[in-house]
Amino acid sequence: MARPKELLDEGLAFQAAEELERLSNYKVCIRLKAIMICMNFTISHVSEVMEVNRSTLWNWIKRFKEGGVSALYDKPKGHNAAKLNEEHKSKIAIWLEERIDHKGRPVHWTLEKLLFEIEEVFGIRTSMTSLWNVIRAIGFRQKVPRPYHAKADKNEQERFKKNL
């Protein structure tokens, strides 16, 4: 398949060559090299040699033509932004430390209660796992009581405990 004249011209290839000299991002360099090579070879041949789909190569050319080098960079990927900011986290830390809710009433906190409180006060819905991660990041740990075996003798267990 021949290359279309309206997408590629020598000015575009020259611009790509100039931009290539200024870059350090290897992915963008590869994309610019591919655009430059398309001036002398067919899209099919270049895509075969570079092991890139032809449509991907076309997209790189279109993006470069429309937006220059900045359009060849990958868009940011990753997690969604955190719903709870530092102010929220400090308020939650106060609630947990002092064992009170936002109205000052004493509370025995569970994750469910804390989720409800956060939604009521801040208007933010979050998952239990993300709240757990926030609590751990603040510096709190889960406190679990000593387990009791169902078949064990209660008097023996009490005697076995360390005397304070």
Q: How confident is the model at residue 96 (pLDDT cuts 50, 70, 90)?
A: very high
Total count of domains within the chain: 2
What is the chain's mean pLDDT, rounded? 85
Residue 160 maps to a domain:
no
Please name every residue paired with 143 in a beta bridge, in sequence order, or none if there are none: none
Model pLDDT for residues 69-80, shown as the tens digit of each residue: 889 888 888 878
Which pairs from 95-98 meet CB under 8 Å and 24+ separation?
A: 96/135, 96/138, 96/140
Q: What gap in Å lies between CA 112 and CA 108, rounded to an integer? A: 11
pTM (2 d.p.) = 0.47
**Same domain for 22 and 68?**
yes
Q: In terms of C-beta density within 10 A (0-12 exposed, 13-18 middle, 19 or more buried), how is residue 47 classed?
A: buried
Domain with 25 in it: 10-72
**Same domain for 65 and 21?**
yes
